[in-house]
A and B are shown apart, each in its own frame.
Chain A
Amino acid sequence: MQTFRFDPCDLPDSALALRDEIRAFLATELDGFPARKRAETWMGWDAEFSRKIGQKGWIGMTWPKQYGGHERSALDRYVMLEEMLSAGAPVAAHWIGDRQSGPLLLNYGTEEQRQKYLPKIASGESFFCIGMSEPDSGSDLASVRTKAELTDEGWRVNGTKLWTSGAHRAHVMIALFRTATEEGNRHGGLTQFLVDLDTPGITIRPIKDLSGNAHFNEVIFEDVLVPDSQRVGETHGAWKQVTAELAYERSGPERYLSCYPLMAELVQELGDKGTASERDEIEIGRVVAELSTLRQMSVSVAGMLEAGQNPALEASVVKDLGAVLEQRMPGLATDLLERPFHLGTGGLDEAAAYLVQNAPSFSLRGGTREILRGIIARGLGLR
């Protein structure tokens, strides 16, 4: 049986200095930013804010300077992320490019692709989305059917992507298409492409979620032509690229901090009322203990990534425990404040109402709980 490794990690001085800088910036920038908006955290889209972050040098922090990056440590970037998320900053516009698409292009992109896209991601001007999932596919990415056929004019794409976050506002999609059907090899025959979303033949339909927001989309491809120069990595070789990409998606602090802005509001209100009961204190204390521990685990994963290790299993542990904590938060706010949260009231109530309705997605996005527990079980040697 493999035991999971979470080596303790000390943040470097550069990260601690950066934390103060970011806190000061956000205190000014988000002054008066409503609780409801803060509750959206990494789902909140604000192109202007993203450009400011880009100017500050806080996108693509670890990338080479030649591509607009800043060659800083992954732990500096970690601190930037946790400060943005805990404050509830609207980072969705540049989020995917910074977290996934940039690193993917650095690993697998051509020199031309890197020069074309990375500097604009880093400056907060070019926004990305990820076209992986499809109707009937869910967590099962090997079942992707949207087809890209090589023709004289380039790759001709037909099919539909689903649950594509931010596609209606992004400039570019990194899309996973089926380029071949290999008998007995579900992971073969998949290829990734950079698709400029203003390419003719693409229809993007936002899908409203149950909170009334529309952040994900259905994206329909009808005879869309994608030049071969937009292919990322090897033809038919996307599986290993995609699994590496998912490790970035599962290891970050967003996997336990989605509800943090609500927690801060809840603790503040209990304090302001001055009537916190023993039960309030115990319940809040439990969350503080779990939050602090999850943060230590998450920092440890960041430290292992910085050291060049592959903590994919540990990242799954953090995401599973993190989603359990996050999902408990809105219900806990309901229990402790003992009032129904009405819409349109602004402040904490509106934030809590939003999160009550969004919490079901926390154990779905980035891999369902069942998939994660399957990965952990494999790590234990059970599968």
Chain B
Amino acid sequence: MNELQTMLADTANRLFTDKLTKQVRIAAEEGEWPQDLWNAVEENGFPRVLVSEARGGAGAQWPDALVLLKACGTHAVPLPLAETILANWFLDQAGVDVPDGPITFASAQLTSGPDGMALAGPMQDVPFAANCTHVVALSPSDGTDGGIQVALFASPQVGQANSTIARESVAQVSVSGAAIASGLASLPLNSAMLFGALARSAAIAGALQSVLLQAVQYAGERVQFGRPISKFQAVQHQLAELATHAASVGVAVDAAARAVLADPNAAEFDIAAAKVRASDAAQIGASIAHQTHGAIGFTYEHGLHFWTRRLWSWGPEYGGAAHWAQLLGKNAIEGGGHSLWATVTAR
């Protein structure tokens, strides 16, 4: 890690360890917005990590922001932090000033009206919409130069809302009137899916590290048949398997962030690979963590579930393993077996 990454990691770990108590998580699951936690996150500038210095951000790069996106998983953060980091990055890329407060984003259809950009219809499945002061809509540009239209709307009106397995809301969103600002960003047409997938992969990487740590610790403490269960070879091998998957997702996510840093428009392969690995490993990891914890880990009281329910939730979000695997497989088959190796080694 470079100096900035170490600083971000230390700050995030200290902040979330101090302020994100179990009570805060439980209250959030009951619908209470953790305003103090959000204030602390904002005071530390986390939401603007990827925003250029000219627009009041930290001007950091994707591998740096990855530290915070992973922390969302390591600490099971019940905030739209990943969403806000991404929404602000989209705005900055489009040359739009970034507002304060939590912001979410989704892909949408935009139409150009007399007062500016407007939504053609409601946006679907917008995460944390009820908690956000603004929403960013991403729409393919109709211009010849490609890229995407990025439009910022204030005061989103929440329609039909549901809760994810992580007890976080997703809702249908409509807005009245035109965007308060908009611009063109030179980013892939599927940016909402693509970078959403990367953010979730990073969170899964963090959550897998966390459930691994929890399971290893519990296995060392829990005595059965006269010895800690960590002394049973079957348990050791299960945890070793979990560790290999956690390591693999970490590496895949690092590679994807480096690919975005090199060129956001050429990072689809690496992001897809990371999400395939992350979504598959999320299932395996949650399963092993629960098996290790036995019945106690299955209770609400214990708290392992704050992480495993997020793993289950994040796995399919922004495209599950099959979605991204199909994209990789289709490209590989169309490209031909004899050029596949060149694709793999181009990273």
Contacts and interface: CB of A to CB of B under 8 A. Distances in A.
| B interface majority secondary structure | helix
A280 B329 contact: yes
Interface in A128-154: none
A321 interface: yes
B329 A292 contact: no
A293 B340 contact: no
Interface string B214-244: 0011011000000000110101110111011
B154 to A, nearest CB: 39
Contacts, number: 174
Contacts of A71: none
Interface residues on B, range: 35 or more
A271 interface: yes
A267 B336 contact: yes
A266 to B, nearest CB: 7
A285 B248 contact: no
A267 B337 CA distance: 5
B337 A271 contact: yes
Contacts of B213: 1
Given A3-B209, A264-B341, A321-B248, A376 B240 contact: yes
Contacts of B254: 6, 8, 296
A293 B251 contact: yes
B344 A285 contact: no
Interface residues of A, number: 54
Contacts of B299: none
Contact of A293 (B209, B235, B248, B335): B248
Contact of B247 (A4, A292, A295): A4
A284 interface: yes
A217 interface: no
A293 B236 contact: no
B276 A266 contact: no
Contact of B333 (A19, A280, A373): A280
A155 interface: no
Interface of A: 1, 3-4, 6, 8, 19, 82, 86-87, 260, 263-271, 276, 278, 280-286, 288-297, 300, 314, 317, 320-321, 370, 372-374, 376-377, 379-383
18 contacts: A87-B341, A267-B333, A271-B335, A280-B333, A282-B325, A282-B326, A286-B321, A288-B325, A289-B274, A289-B324, A289-B328, A293-B251, A296-B254, A297-B247, A320-B240, A320-B244, A373-B240, A382-B239
